[in-house]
Amino acid sequence: MDISHRKISRVVNFTDEQGNAVKNAHISVKQKNHEFLFGCGGFDFIPYVMSNGEKNKAVADSWLEIFNYATLPFYWGGYETKEGEPNKDTLMKTASFLKDKGVTVKGHPLCWHTGCADWLMNYDNATILDKQLKRIDREVIGFKGVIDMWDVINEVVIMPIFDKYDNAITRICKEKGRVGLIKAVFDRAHAANPDAVLLLNDFNTSINYEILIDGCLNAGVPISAIGIQSHQHQGYWGSEKVYEVLERFSHFGLPIHFTENTLISGDIMPAHIVDLNDWQVDEWPSTPEGEERQAREIEEMYRILFENPLVKAITTWDFKDGAWLKAPSGYLRLDDSRKPSFEMLKKLVKEEWWTDTEVVTDSEGKAKVDAFKGDYCIECAGKKADIRLTDDDCDTIILK
């Protein structure tokens, strides 16, 4: 397994503020954050932040021990239950809290047929589209600087043929076509924040999604990254499928985000269920054997994904059991205790793939640095530098 592309490995010049070489010195190189986005659903931070830390404290503290990347919910139906009254304050406070903790926040999603606002259906299609585009302006501009990453549109493969219930977005997707709607919402989001990372996201990993992406790219849709959902309530894909999906979506050359990963620690959902939402149970227990299996499967999958240079983010969907579908899908049990998967992933992210070391400069103030890409605090004799070590960095570090 070659993960050298996740690291920098080069000779660095260490100097003081006057430009003098820091010779023959022991220098501590401590990682503060990953360049790679290790993500998880951040929904639990909303009650935590809004209660000033009284609710969900154990959850929030555990979460922050591993992750540097959170997905926050912008489902239109929940975000703007009544037209004209968006829940901006709550989301802004939560996103700002996370940002202050060094966590990158992604808004999910700007356009989706599920969880959509019912009041939109009172309008004709032209008005629905206009309101959709204005919502994109409002959120993307309104959160700029706090949230600069968006799932722009979700699950478009099924969108125009979704027939479980009538909704405003299926109506306009049927009229404009898939690529037409994708182009409209991406163009608007890109105009609203040209620096934002904009994702297309889908659970459909078949040839349908490949062809859709192919069409979008040829139509000039400004997709920053391909979002792939991998809810595996019906059992782990296995390494073969993980590699196969990676191969099929790699040929576009775009960054790939595993946006919604789920591996559960209980009984597997029966294979005959097509829409996961159709599986409604009263309880879905986590089991000791399930927890061992979950940890093993998450480890294998994360290792495969971390090795692929195009993968830039992996987000586990639920941090704690009992959320979507009541599944045992989290790193924490219902009582907030940590599963084996938590300890395993923390070890990967904060030990095996983490740099906390010391280098010794030579007589010219040079030392070779081998370090996982990310943010660092470099220190020597009370002087320090807070820097980011990535491919683009300069080769001199000034200690102040």
Return residues touching a second copy (CB under 8 A).
157, 161, 174, 177-180, 183, 207-208, 211-212, 214-220, 251-252
Q: How far is the CB of 236 from a second copy (least distance, A)?
A: 25
| CA dihedral sign, ordered 283, 286, 289, 291 | positive
Q: Say which residue the tokens 């992750």 belong to.
A: 67
Cβ contacts of 276-279, under 8 Å, gap ≥ 24: 276/231, 276/233, 276/234, 276/325, 277/325, 279/233, 279/325
Q: How far is the CB of 135 from a second copy (least distance, A)?
A: 22
Q: How far is the CB of 253 from a second copy (least distance, A)?
A: 10
DSSP state of 219: T
DSSP-assigned beta bridge partners for residue 198: 150
Q: Given the complex with a second copy, which of 126 and 141 has the nearer CB atom?
A: 126
- Write out the two tokens for 67: 């992750």
Q: Number of helices and strands (H, E) in the chain?
A: 11, 15
Q: Given the complex with a second copy, which of 152 and 397 has the nearer CB atom?
A: 152
- Write out the two tokens for 147: 């949230």
Q: Given the complex with a second copy, which of 157 and 323 has the nearer CB atom?
A: 157
Amino acid found at 140: V
Q: How far is the CB of 330 from a second copy (least distance, A)?
A: 34
Q: How far is the CB of 183 from a second copy (least distance, A)?
A: 6
Dist. CA 263–CA 249, nearest whole Å: 21
Dist. CA 303–CA 294, nearest whole Å: 14
Q: How far is the CB of 168 from a second copy (least distance, A)?
A: 18
Selection from 370, 276, 390 nearest residue 34 by Cα: 390
Alpha helices, DSSP H, located in 19-153: 45-50, 57-66, 76-79, 88-100, 125-142
Q: Given the complex with a second copy, which of 161 and 281 has the nearer CB atom?
A: 161
Q: Given the complex with a second copy, which of 126 and 207 has the nearer CB atom?
A: 207
Dist. CA 295–CA 186, nearest whole Å: 36
Q: Given the complex with a second copy, which of 149 and 254 has the nearer CB atom?
A: 254
Q: How far is the CB of 221 from a second copy (least distance, A)?
A: 8
- Write out the two tokens for 246: 């990676």
- Cα distances (angstroms) measured from residue 93 to each of 56, 62, 88, 109: 16, 20, 8, 18
Dist. CA 79–CA 9, nearest whole Å: 45
Q: Given the complex with a second copy, which of 157 and 387 has the nearer CB atom?
A: 157
Amino acid found at 126: A
Q: How far is the CB of 115 from a second copy (least distance, A)?
A: 23
Q: Given the complex with a second copy, which of 64 and 157 has the nearer CB atom?
A: 157
